[in-house]
Amino acid sequence: MTILSAFRKVLPNEDIIFFGDTKNMPYGEKSKEQLIEYSNKAFQFFENRGVKAVVMACNTTSATVYEDLKDKYNFKLYPLIQSVSKIISELNADTIGVFATPATINSHAYKANINKYNPKMSVIEISCPMWVKFVEDNLVNTEIAKVSVREKMQEISAYKPEKIVLGCTHYPYLTEEISKYISRENIINPAEYYAYFIKNDLSNLQLLSNKTEKGSDSFYVSSSPDKFIRAASMFYNVEKCMLIEQ
């Protein structure tokens, strides 16, 4: 939803079909084989609906399964990490911190992709396995969440990063707490970079919508649509969500 919110500001006229795999969340501690299975089901759902492009609005799947699946479908595929890393590599910083799920951290996808463009940038990767649960279970303002953020900030502060990338789309929900330890301007939510990258690429491919009216939103999840609507409300207004079997 954090990606969708940024995407809508940049591309207001596109029709969007959103699928949230709420049945199998969180992805951050799943095996690669599981992630490939889940992603294939999601991509087949999109292919059956004839979409022109799919936004992989998940750092974990971008890090672990993009290379395996990128040529299997008939739509343009945009992986999050690979799409934003060049922009991050050009930021005015010698050291960048990355908070992400265990799967993303273990893949070293941010470090590999950023250093591909800027080998001199130091990329410090810190796993935050509980943070998705804090968001999913509405525990962001609890003491356990605040303690976890403080401990992770203390851990990464030892490396003196000038900026910190929120390398999971759930983590922007924790921005208020993280900003107690580092200024907001140095907290990077990749969503905005991602949205502009996609817009420019769709334009170059002549795939941008030529509609002048606002695009439509359709929401689907694999479980608990009511819970999804409540959780999404912090970043987006979801009025209706449909359940599909996955």
Residues annotated as catalytic are: 58, 168
What residue type is assigned to position 143 of the chain?
Answer: E
Judge contact between 194 and 83, C-beta under 8 A: yes
Best CA proximity match to 166, nearest among 2, 44, 43: 2
Q: Which residues contact 109 (CB under 8 A, 6 or more apart)?
A: 59, 62, 63, 64, 81, 82
Helices (H), 158-190: 175-178
Best CA proximity match to 68, nearest among 24, 41, 33: 33
